[in-house]
C-alpha cells in the first residue's frame, strides 16, 4: 500500500465521520473538541500540501511545510494528553485564550514597529485590545502572559512529555520520539537559518528524502484523527468505530511499508551475492 492509497482510505473515513464532528453540539467539552477538530482539518491541509510539493519537485518548501506539520502534531498531542489527564476544557481554553492573546499582542506590536519604520508614531493600548478580544488574559502583565502561553512552546511540550509520558500508550511513544528530531533539524527552514545552506539537496536524492518523510506526514495526520476519535468516544462510545478504522488503516500502511523494506533489503543482498560471484 502506497501513501497515496492509504490516504485515499483515510479521506473516505473522514467523509464517513459526520457524526463525529456533530458531537461538538452536545459535548461537555466544547473547547477541547473545537481544538481537536481544528487540528484534524489543519493537519490534513498540510499533508495534502506535502503531497503536492512532491509532485512539484520542490524539496525545499516540502521541508518547511513538513516542519510546520510536526509542530501542529506536537501541540495537538499536548492538548490531547492534557485532556486525557484532566478530563476538562482547561488545556483547550488556555490554548485559545493565552496563545491567542500572545499572538494578538505580537501582531499589534509588529504594526506599531512597521509604522515606526515609516516614521509614524502610533499609540496602541495593547492591554485594552487584549481585554476586548481575550478577556481571560485581562490584567495579565507581559511576563505573566509569556509564562502561561509558553506551555505550548516546543521546549515546554517536550519537557512535559518527557516527564512521565502521561496518557500516551507505550506503543505510540516511539512514533512521537521520531517526530521530535524532525522538528528540530528542519526549524532552520522556517526561520531562514544557516542550516538550510547545508541541506539544499535537489534531484532524486532530495525527492527520496521527501518520500521517506511523507510516510511520517500521513501517519501524523491519521493519528490526529485516531486520537481525536478515541477522546470523543470516551464521552460518546458510539464513535469508537472511527478510531478503530483509523488505526486499521495505519496498521495496513505500516505493514506494507515493512514488507517493502524487507523486499528491498533482500534485493540488495541478492545483488551483493551476484557481485561476489
Q: Which three cell numbers stand for residue 82?
A: 492534557
Q: Which residues contact 99 (CB under 8 A, 6 or more apart)?
A: 149, 152
At 93-115, the pLDDT tens digits run 999 999 888 888 888 888 889 98
Query: Burial level of 153, CB count in 10 A (0-12/13-18/19+)?
Result: middle
Instruction: Evaluate if residue 266 carries a pLDDT over 90.
Output: no
Cβ atoms 222, 250 nearer than 8 A = yes
Name the band, by pLDDT with cuts 50, 70 and 90, for residue 258.
confident
Distance CA 245, CA 147 (A): 39
- Predicted TM-score (pTM) of the model is 0.86
The more confidently predicted of residues 55 and 40 is: 40
Angular region, 139: left φ>0, alpha ψ -120 to 50, beta rest: left
**The pLDDT value given to residue 172:** 78
Cβ atoms 85, 103 nearer than 8 A = no
User: Mean of the pLDDT values across residues 215-243?
Assistant: 95
Q: Which three cell numbers stand for residue 256?
A: 506494507
Amino acid at each position: 500500500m502506497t501513501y497515496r492509497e492509504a490516504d485515499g482510505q483515510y479521506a473516505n473515513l473522514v467523509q464517513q465521520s459526520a457524526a463525529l464532528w456533530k458531537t461538538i453540539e452536545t459535548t461537555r467539552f466544547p473547547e477541547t473538541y473545537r481544538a481537536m477538530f481544528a487540528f484534524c482539518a489543519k493537519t490534513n491541509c498540510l499533508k495534502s500540501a506535502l503531497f503536492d510539493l512532491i509532485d512539484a519537485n520542490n524539496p525545499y518548501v516540502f521541508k518547511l511545510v513538513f516542519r510546520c506539520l510536526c509542530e501542529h502534531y506536537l501541540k495537538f498531542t499536548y492538548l490531547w494528553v492534557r485532556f486525557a489527564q484532566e478530563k476538562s476544557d482547561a488545556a483547550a481554553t488556555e490554548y485559545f485564550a493565552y496563545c491567542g492573546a500572545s499572538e494578538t499582542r505580537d501582531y499589534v506590536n509588529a504594526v506599531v514597529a512597521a509604522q515606526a519604520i515609516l516614521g509614524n508614531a502610533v499609540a496602541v493600548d495593547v492591554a485594552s485590545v487584549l481585554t476586548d478580544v481575550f478577556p481571560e488574559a485581562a490584567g495579565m502583565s507581559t511576563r505573566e502572559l509569556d509564562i502561561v502561553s509558553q506551555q505550548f512552546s516546543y521546549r515546554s511540550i517536550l519537557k512535559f512529555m518527557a516527564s512521565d509520558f502521561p496518557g500516551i500508550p507505550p506503543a505510540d511513544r516511539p512514533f512521537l520520539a521520531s517526530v521530535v528530531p524532525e522538528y528540530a533539524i528542519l526549524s532552520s527552514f522556517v526561520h531562514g537559518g544557516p542550516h538550510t545552506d547545508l541541506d539544499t539537496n535537489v534531484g532524486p536524492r532530495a525527492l527520496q528524502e521527501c518520500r521517506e518523510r511523507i510516510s511520517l506526514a500521513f501517519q501524523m495526520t491519521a493519528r490526529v484523527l485516531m486520537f481525536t476519535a478515541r477522546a470523543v468516544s470516551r464521552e460518546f462510545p458510539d464513535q469508537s468505530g472511527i478510531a478503530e478504522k483509523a488505526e486499521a488503516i495505519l496498521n495496513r500502511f505500516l505493514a506494507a511499508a515493512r514488507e517493502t523494506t524487507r523486499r528491498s533489503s533482500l534485493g540488495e543482498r541478492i545483488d551483493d551475492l551476484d557481485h561476489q560471484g
